[in-house]
Each structure stands twice: as structure tokens, then as C-alpha cells.
């Protein structure tokens, strides 16, 4: 004989809750994935900017002597840590992606390229070098990559912002869906709510039953969604590594501690959102009762 | 014996010129005044649609009156906050006409529900609940779920649930409506025992005039939303003006 009073006061989940589980799971998957994309976009922006900051490329049109003189002038400029002329082989290596593995014909003249490195906080070096080289009668173009790196940063920041907006929208959608589903569940459980109410249960006691139920539902559905997002991210990484391709943002997509935090937070946030939605809905319904 | 309110001499139930209407329609209850002495047993009779269930719902605090005042144990319920109302409800056992058993709980768990809501530990009430279910003839149906119980069995589970906390006031809506005569008499004996031994106040709505005759208790007759007749002994009851 069983005769114990330990059965939960709310019946086990029904089809409505299964549907809600699926919806929360899908929303969490999308939110976690968007979160990962946002983080990777910002990480990419930082990484790429960091890589080009202080790097200056100078193209000298002239003789070897002009190039040597330019290196000397550049090296003496305050804020420049080092400068050297790229050997023909190094220049050919840079051109490989455009000209192919067959390389550059030996008789094709290449501009002299100088790679200089400025200290990270030196600003306006590009303009100063341009003036200095021009003043010395050297025909040269100075590229400090500022424009390019700013474009990259703007693009990655925009991508990150879009992803963050997507996360926020998905979060709000999740809360609205959960509130709607809680309300529907509550209507289906109105008999239980009213019986508990008339048996002397406090509002917080009744609300607590639903909060506990929906917290667990949110956390479980969120955990499944986050796991799927982790799987999707891992799959993308695997594909990228297998194909040995460098695709714009994807090289930055790594499963780091920050990603782990995003994946871990998603179910917690889903659970808390579900719990709060349940609390508000139940207390509002109870306030209609005497 | 349950803890008694210090204002023991106050009526257990008191209606002062209570009216209730749903929207602009005519009053379901009109200007009803009555008092139930603590420890009294009162039957509420009257034709279907007379307002018996509404009166009971007001008494067990499921409704608020449109006008007038409902007091329980000397406390004006209109002035209470929600936590105090919840505490007051724990002193009332209700037998609903439609049973209101939770389908996913066993008979035992349904009966134990008010005790769980009170926060009581199962090991403290387990034997009492089992004994009570045995007493109402359901000792072999402890683990049965309502879907497998007959109407009469459900009724008995509902009655057991109402009395399990030994409430100060029991309000029952047609408690013998679905049981045979023998079980009806057993339930009446249970009510009388609670009334005599524990001083529980009873308010029972019924069509069962046979039970009313046997019980020899106070009788309120309700017609068209008004208390129209009070049977002996009358001092506990003030009839509303017709």
C-alpha cells in the first residue's frame, strides 16, 4: 500500500507544457547562438584592430637607394620602433593570394615595400611619415591601416549589435510566450488553484507551486537549447577547421570561458524568466479571487 | 480540540443585510440576515435556484457580498487582508456539491490536502487520514484516484477532506446527495459527532428532508434569495424581512 502524500500538488506536465518546453528550448538555442555570434564579433573586432594597430606599410616607387633612404628616415621618426624593406620573396608571398602559386614573373618590377612598426599609442604617424618622405623627395605611399581597421571595427561592431538586439528580442519573446503559456496552464488548473485557495493556502504558496514548476521547465528547456547551441558552434568550428578556410568572423568563433558563460547563463535566464512570468500571472489571477 | 477564537461567544457565522447580485440582474441574495451560534448545526433548505449555494459560497469566503457584512467567528471578513483571510479559511471545512477532488491525487492525498496546505508533516497526520477514510468506508480505496471512484465514494472523500482538519465550521453543499441511505446516516452521525464532541459549527445545504428530520437541528429555508422561514429553535436566527 502506497498511501503517501508526496505527489506534487500540480499534475505532471501535459501537452501544453511539452509545447512550451519546445518553444523555450528553440528560443534559448537561438539566443545562445546569437550571444556567441555577438561575442565573437566583438572579439574579432578587437583582435583585428589589435593586429593592425601600429603596423605601417610604405610603398616606395623608385630605386633601391630610395628605399634604403626611406627606411633610414622612417627609423629615425619618433614613435617608430622598427622598419625594414621587405625582400622580393616577402613581397611575392604577400601577392600570392592574388597572383597564384605560380608567382610573380621575375622580370616584373615590384614596388619596394617597407614594413614599419609604430608604438601602439602613437597617433598621426602615417601623416607625419608621408610629409617627411615627400619632403625628402621620395615618391612613397604610406598606409597606416587606420581607415581599414576602422571599417572592420564598424562592421564587426554592427554585427555584434545586431546579435545583441536579436538576443534581447528573443529574450522578450521568450518571456511573452512563457507568460502566455503560464496563463493557459493556469486556466487549465483553475480548479486546483481555487481549491487550494479555499483550503486556506496563501497566495505565495500557490504561486510558489507554479514558480517552481516553471523555473524547472525554463532551466531544463534552456539547458537543452544551450547544449544545441554549443553543438552548432562546435560543428561550425569543426567544419571551418576541416576545410582549412579562413572565413571573415569564423576564425574568432572559439569555445572559450566567455562562451561557456553565455551557454551557462542562457538556461538560468530562461528559468528565471519563466519563474517570474508564472509568479506575475498566478498572482494576478489570484487577485481576482476573494 | 482545535484552537478556539477568543471571541467564542460571537456567532460562528453572521450575515448582516447581505445582498449579492451578478451585474445588473436581480439579486441572487437579497437583504439576508442570519446568525449561527458557535457549536450549532443548521440545515439550509429551499428549492433549486433559491440561492443556497450562493449563500454557502459567501460563508466559505469564495464570494464577497455586493452589500452587507459577512462575519465569521466575530470577525468582519470584509476588513481582512489576504493572509488573514487565508488563515480564516483554514478554520472552515467545505464539502462542495461537485466534490472538487484533484484527479491526479489518490483518495488519501485528496483527504490530506488541507493538512499539506497547513504545512503539517505527513508522519503526523498519516494515521488520522487513514482512520478517517476507513471510517467513511474507504479503507480499501486509499490509493484510488477519483476517476476510479463512484459518485458516492467521491462524496465520502470530499467529506473526509472537509473534516480532516477538525475545523471550527463545516459548510456542506448537498453532502448526502450521492450516497445511499445507510452511508447518509453514517455521514450524519459523523457530522453530529463533530458537532457534539468538538463543538464544530455545521451549515448544511440539503434537499434531503429525511436527514433534516432525523438531525433535529436548526433549519433555514431560503426562497428567491431571501430567508423566508426559520424552524425551531429560532433564537439563533434572525429572519430577513420578506
- The interface predicted TM-score of the complex, written ipTM, equals 0.85
CA–CA distance, A275 with A287 (Å, rounded to integer): 18
Segments of chain B with pLDDT less than 70:
1-8, 225, 228-242
Percent of chain A with pLDDT over 90: 8
How far is A14 from A21, CA to CA, in rounded Å?
A: 11
The residue ranges of every structural domain in chain A are 15-49+149-287, 55-144
Chain A CB contacts of B85 under 8 Å are 290
Handedness of CA A76, A80, A81, A85 (dihedral sign): negative
Per mean pLDDT, which of A53-62, A72-81, A101-110, B54-63 is the most reliable?
A: B54-63
Predicted confidence at residue B169, as pLDDT, reads 94
User: A227-269, pLDDT tens digit by residue?
Assistant: 998 888 888 877 777 766 555 544 455 667 878 888 888 889 8
Contact A3 B143 (CB under 8 A): yes
Quote the CA–CA distance of A201 and A140 in Å, as a whole number: 84
Residue of B nearest to A198 (CA): B89
Give the burial class of B16: count Cβ atoms within 10 A of its Cβ; 0-12 exposed, 13-18 middle, 19 or more buried. middle
B232: closest CA of chain A, how far (Å) = 31
Distance CA B43, CA B57 (A): 15
Q: A interface mutation test: which of B82, B87, B154 has the most A CBs within 10 A?
A: B82
Please give the full DSSP string across chain A, using - where no structure is assigned. Answer: ----S-S-SSPPP-HHHHHHHHHHHHHHHHHHHHHHHHHHHHHHHHHHHHHHTTEEEEEE-S-HHHHHHHHHHHHHSTTEEEEEEPPHHHHHHHHHHHH-TT---TTS---EEEEEEE-TT--SHHHHHHHHHHHTT--EEEE-SHHHHHHHHHHHHHHHHHHHHHHHHHHHHHHHHHHHHHHHHHHHTHHHHHHHHHTT--HHHHHHHHHHHHHHHHHHHHHHHHHHHHHHHHHHHHHHHHHT---SSGGG----HHHHHHHHHHHHHHHHHHHHHHHHHHHHHHHT--
What is the residue-averaged pLDDT of chain B?
84
* Strand arrangement, sheet containing A140-143: A80-85, A112-118, A55-60, A140-143
Buried b / exposed e across A261-270, counting CB within 10 Å, b at 16+?
ebbeebbebb
pTM attached to this predicted model: 0.71
Distance CA B25, CA B4 (A): 40
Cβ–Cβ < 8 Å for A88, A94: no
Nearest to A233 by CA among A24, A22, A21, A32: A32
Alpha carbon distance A26, A22 (integer Å): 6
Instruction: List the single residue in A2, A12, A290 with the smallest CB-CB distance to B62.
Output: A290
Question: In Å, how far is B166's CA from the nearest CA of chain A?
Answer: 13
Q: Which residue from B minimizes the CA distance to A289?
A: B62
Give me the pLDDT at residue B196, please.
86
Instruction: For residue A123, give the nearest of A72, A53, A76 by alpha carbon.
Output: A53
Binary contact (A7, B104; C-beta < 8 A): yes
Across the interface, whether the CB atoms of A9 and B116 are under 8 A apart is answered yes
- Write the secondary structure of chain B as one string of H (helix), E (strand) and C (coil): CCCCCCCCCCCCEEEEEEEECCCCCCCCEEEEEEEECCCCEEEEECCCCCCHHHHHHHHCCCCCCCEEEEEECCEEHHHCCHHHHHHHHCCEEEECCCCCCCCCCCHHHHHHHHHHHHCCCHHHHHHHHHHHHHHCCCCCCCCCCHHHCCHHHHHHHHHHHHHCCCCCEEEEECCCCCCCHHHHHHHHHHHHHHHHHCCCEEEEECCCHHHHHHHCCEEEEEECCEEEEEECCHHHCCCCCC
Measured in angstroms, the CA of A250 and the nearest CA of chain B are apart by 51
Quickly count: other Cβ atoms within 10 Å of residue A1's Cβ.
8
pLDDT at site A4: 56
Is A270:A174 a contact under the CB 8 Å cutoff?
Answer: yes
Of the candidates B105, B106, B113, the beta carbon closest to that of A199 is on B113
Inter-chain contacts counted by CB atoms under 8 A, chains A and B? 81
Question: Which CATH number applies to A55-144?
Answer: 3.30.70.2190
* Interchain contact, B87 vs A5, CB within 8 Å: no
Spatial distance between the Cα atoms of A170 and A229, rounded to a whole number of angstroms: 14
**Confidence label for A7 from pLDDT (cuts 50, 70 and 90):** confident
Q: Does B71 touch chain A (CB under 8 A)?
A: no
Q: How far apart are CA B236 and CA B234, in angstroms?
A: 6
Is residue B82 within 8 Å of residue B203, measured between CB atoms? no
pLDDT of A123-167, one tens digit each? 677 788 888 888 888 888 888 777 777 777 787 778 778 877 887
> Chain A interface residues facing chain B, Cβ-Cβ under 8 Å?
1-7, 9, 11-12, 191-192, 194-203, 205, 289-290
| DSSP bridge partners of B45 | B221
Over 60: is that where the pLDDT of A194 sits? yes
Residues pairing with B13 in the sheet = B36, B72
Task: Give Dmax (Cα) for chain B.
Answer: 52
Which stretch of A38-47, A74-83, B71-80 has the lowest confidence by average pLDDT? Answer: A38-47
Closest by Cα among B45, B10, B53, B15 to B33: B15
Contact residues on chain A for B103, CB-CB shorter than 8 A: 11
Beta bridge partners of B221: B45, B229
pLDDT averaged over chain A? Answer: 80
Amino acid at each position: 500500500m502506497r498511501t503517501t502524500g508526496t505527489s506534487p500538488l500540480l499534475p505532471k506536465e501535459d501537452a501544453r507544457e511539452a509545447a512550451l518546453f519546445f518553444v523555450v528550448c528553440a528560443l534559448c538555442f537561438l539566443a545562445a547562438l546569437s550571444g556567441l555570434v555577438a561575442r565573437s564579433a566583438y572579439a574579432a573586432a578587437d583582435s583585428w584592430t589589435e593586429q593592425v594597430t601600429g603596423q605601417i606599410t610604405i610603398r616606395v616607387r623608385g630605386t633601391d637607394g630610395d628605399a634604403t633612404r626611406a627606411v633610414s628616415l622612417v627609423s629615425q621618426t619618433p614613435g617608430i620602433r622598427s622598419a625594414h624593406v621587405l625582400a622580393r620573396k616577402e613581397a611575392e608571398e604577400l601577392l600570392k593570394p592574388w597572383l597564384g602559386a605560380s608567382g610573380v614573373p621575375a622580370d616584373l618590377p615590384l614596388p619596394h615595400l617597407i614594413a614599419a612598426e609604430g608604438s601602439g599609442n602613437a597617433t598621426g604617424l602615417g601623416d607625419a611619415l608621408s610629409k617627411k618622405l615627400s619632403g625628402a623627395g621620395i615618391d612613397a605611399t604610406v598606409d597606416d591601416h587606420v581607415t581599414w581597421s576602422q571599417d572592420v571595427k564598424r562592421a564587426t561592431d554592427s554585427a555584434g549589435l545586431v546579435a545583441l538586439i536579436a538576443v534581447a528580442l528573443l529574450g522578450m519573446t521568450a518571456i511573452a510566450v512563457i507568460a502566455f503559456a503560464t496563463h493557459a496552464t493556469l486556466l487549465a488548473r483553475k480548479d486546483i488553484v481555487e481549491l487550494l485557495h479555499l483550503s486556506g493556502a496563501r497566495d505565495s504558496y500557490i504561486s510558489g507551486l507554479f514558480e517552481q514548476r516553471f523555473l524547472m521547465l525554463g532551466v531544463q528547456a534552456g539547458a537543452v537549447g544551450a547544449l544545441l547551441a554549443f553543438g552548432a558552434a562546435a560543428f561550425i568550428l569543426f567544419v571551418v577547421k576541416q576545410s582549412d578556410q579562413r572565413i571573415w568572423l569564423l576564425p574568432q568563433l572559439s569555445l572559450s570561458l566567455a562562451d561557456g558563460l553565455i551557454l551557462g547563463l542562457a538556461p538560468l535566464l530562461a528559468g528565471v524568466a519563466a519563474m517570474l512570468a508564472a509568479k506575475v500571472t498566478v498572482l494576478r489571477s489570484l487577485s481576482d479571487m476573494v | 480540540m482545535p484552537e478556539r477564537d477568543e471571541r467564542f461567544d460571537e456567532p460562528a457565522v453572521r450575515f448582516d443585510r447581505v445582498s449579492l447580485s451578478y451585474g445588473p440582474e436581480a439579486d441572487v441574495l437579497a437583504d439576508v440576515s442570519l446568525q449561527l451560534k458557535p457549536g450549532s448545526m443548521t440545515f439550509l433548505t429551499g428549492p433549486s435556484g433559491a440561492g443556497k449555494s450562493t449563500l454557502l459560497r459567501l460563508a466559505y469566503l469564495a464570494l464577497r457580498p455586493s452589500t452587507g457584512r459577512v462575519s465569521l467567528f466575530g470577525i468582519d471578513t470584509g476588513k481582512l487582508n489576504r493572509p488573514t483571510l487565508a488563515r480564516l479559511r483554514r478554520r472552515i471545512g467545505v464539502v462542495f456539491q461537485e466534490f472538487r477532488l484533484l484527479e491526479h491525487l489518490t483518495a488519501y492525498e485528496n483527504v490530506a490536502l488541507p493538512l499539506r496546505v497547513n504545512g503539517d508533516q505527513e508522519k503526523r497526520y498519516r494515521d488520522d487520514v487513514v482512520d478517517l477514510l476507513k471510517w467513511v468506508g474507504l479503507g480499501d480505496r486509499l490509493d484510488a484516484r477519483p476517476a476510479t471512484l463512484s459518485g458516492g465514494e467521491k462524496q465520502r472523500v470530499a467529506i473526509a477532506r472537509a473534516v480532516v482538519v477538525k475545523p471550527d465550521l463545516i459548510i456542506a453543499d448537498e453532502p448526502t446527495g450521492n450516497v445511499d441511505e445507510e452511508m447518509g446516516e453514517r455521514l450524519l452521525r459523523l457530522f453530529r459527532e463533530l458537532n457534539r464532541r468538538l463543538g464544530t459549527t455545521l451549515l448544511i445545504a440539503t434537499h434531503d428532508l429525511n436527514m433534516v428530520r432525523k438531525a433535529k437541528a436548526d433549519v433555514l429555508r431560503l426562497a428567491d434569495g431571501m430567508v423566508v422561514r426559520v424552524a425551531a429553535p429560532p433564537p439563533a436566527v434572525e429572519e430577513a424581512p420578506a
